[in-house]
Amino acid sequence: MTTAETNTKNPVSEEQYKYDDVSKSRVRGMWARSGVPHKHMDSAKTIHETMDRDSIWWSTYEYILNNLGKDSGSIFIITGKRGVGKTQMAACIVRIMCLTFRSASYRRASDMYAILKATFDSKSSELTLIDRWSEKPKGDDNKSRLMIIDDMQDRANSDWESRTLNQIVDRRYGNCLDTILITNEKRTNIQQTIGPSIISRADETGGIIECTWDSFRAL
C-alpha cells in the first residue's frame, strides 16, 4: 500500500458523540495525557471540521483512521518530507481515538529513547517500560490502544535502538494493539532505518503511506 485511495463519504463527526459530564471528563483526561504537542492539539478540532474532504490529506487520514481499532495490531509507517502535515494527521487521529474512548499516546522517537535510557541508572527497568507500552489497557490505566512514534529519522540507528523498537512494535502486534511510525525519510531508506521485520508487519496489517503532496498548507 503506497497511498490512500479511498475517501469514505461518512467522516467521523463530533455530532455523533453525546456525553454526560463523566464521559466528557474521561475524554478530556485521555486527550490531555496523550502527549500530542500543544500546537497540533489546539489545531486538531478545527482541521477536522474544515479540511477539504476531497483532499489527498483527508483521504489518507481517513484511510488510516478507518483501519485502526480492529484488534488486529495494525502497523502503519507514514513517510514524507517536512511540512506535509504528518504530525497534524497523527494529532487528529489521536483526538478521534479519545472521543471514542480508545486510549492513544504520541511521543517522539528521541524522547522515547531518552526515557528508556533514564532507567539505566535507576531502580526502574527498561523492560518494565516496554511491557507497559505493549500491554492491553484496562480502564483508564494510561496504556495505549494506539501508540504513535514520530520523527523516526532522528534515531541514532544503534543496535540497541533497533532491538528496542522491534521489541515494542512486535509485542504490540502480538497483543493486537495498533502502532504508527512517522518519518521524514524516503520510502527507499526506511528498509534500513526501520528494519525489515517491522516493514513486513506493516505490509501485513496496515501499510506504508507515502505523503507525496507538496505542502499541508497548500491543500
**Sorting pLDDT into bands at 50, 70 and 90, what band is 3?**
very low
pTM score: 0.86
- What pLDDT is stored for residue 131 in this prediction? 86
Torsion of CA 8, 213, 81, 31, to 10 degrees: -30
Q: What would the grid cell of residue 113 be?
A: 529513547
User: Could you give the 3-state DSSP secondary structure of residue 149?
Assistant: strand
- Would you list the DSSP string of 156-178? ---HHHHHHHHHHHHHHHHTT-E
Query: Average pLDDT of 174-193?
Result: 91
CA distance 136 to 53: 33
CA angle (111, 175, 133) in 5-degree steps: 20
Is 2's pLDDT higher than 60?
no
Cell of 40: 497540533
Which domains does the chain carry? 24-210 (3.40.50.300)
pLDDT confidence of residue 8: 39
Count, residues in the chain? 219
The phi, psi pair for 210, rounded to 5°, reads -95, 120
Cell of 111: 524522547
At 63-83, the pLDDT tens digits run 999 999 888 899 999 999 999
pLDDT digits (tens, 9 = 90+) for 91-148: 999 999 999 888 899 999 999 999 998 888 766 688 888 888 888 877 655 678 999 9
3-state secondary structure 96-147: HHHHCCCCEEEEEHHHHHHHHHHHHHCCCCHHHHHHHHHCCCCCCCCCCCEE
C-alpha grid cell, residue 186 = 524516503
CA distance 214 to 201: 28
Q: Three-state DSSP class for 76?
A: strand
* Number of Cβ atoms within 10 Å of the Cβ of 15: 6
DSSP helix/strand/coil, 72:
coil
Q: How far is CA 181 from CA 25, 48, 64, 204, in A?
A: 29, 21, 12, 15
